[in-house]
């Protein structure tokens, strides 16, 4: 079983690896939606990064893109919660 803390760590790693001025972002920053300030390509890269890290941990076959874009607003913390819910099902 994976914890939210571990998923948060993966998401934070993705933010640091993908977003150029990552110091302006934290788990409470908006990931998708009208309040998000990151580019769509960054969203795609972050989701891909997270999926790759989850696969390395043995969680394979998850497509997070569809679930992410079903949400009108999503903070990075809510993204972690969404991931946890998907993995628990």
Minimal CA–CA distance to 51: which of 43, 23, 1, 35? 43
Mean pLDDT, the chain, rounded, equals 93
> Residue 29: which residues within 8 A CB-CB, separation 6 or more?
36, 37, 75, 76
For the entire predicted model, the pTM comes to 0.92
pLDDT tens, position by position, 67-78 = 998 999 999 999
Residue 67 CB neighbour total at 10 angstroms: 16
Q: Domain range for residue 18?
A: 4-88
pLDDT tens, position by position, 29-42 = 999 999 998 999 99
- Looking at the structure of the chain, the number of domains it has is 1
Confidence category of residue 62, pLDDT binned at 50, 70, 90: confident
Q: Cα angle at 14 between 21 and 59, to 5 degrees?
A: 170
Q: What is the pLDDT of residue 80?
A: 97
Distance, in Å, from the CA atom of 18 to the CA atom of 45, rounded to the nearest integer, reads: 7
Cβ atoms of residues 34 and 75 within 8 Å: no
């Amino acid at each position: 079983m994976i914890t939210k803390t571990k998923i948060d760590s993966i998401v934070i790693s993705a933010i640091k690896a993908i977003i150029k001025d990552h110091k302006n972002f934290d788990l409470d920053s908006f990931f998708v939606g009208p309040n998000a300030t990151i580019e769509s390509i960054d969203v795609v890269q972050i989701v891909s990064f997270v999926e790759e890290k989850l696969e390395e941990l043995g969680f394979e076959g998850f497509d997070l893109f569809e679930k992410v874009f079903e949400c009108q607003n999503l903070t990075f913390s809510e993204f972690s919660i969404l991931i946890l819910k998907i993995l628990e099902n």
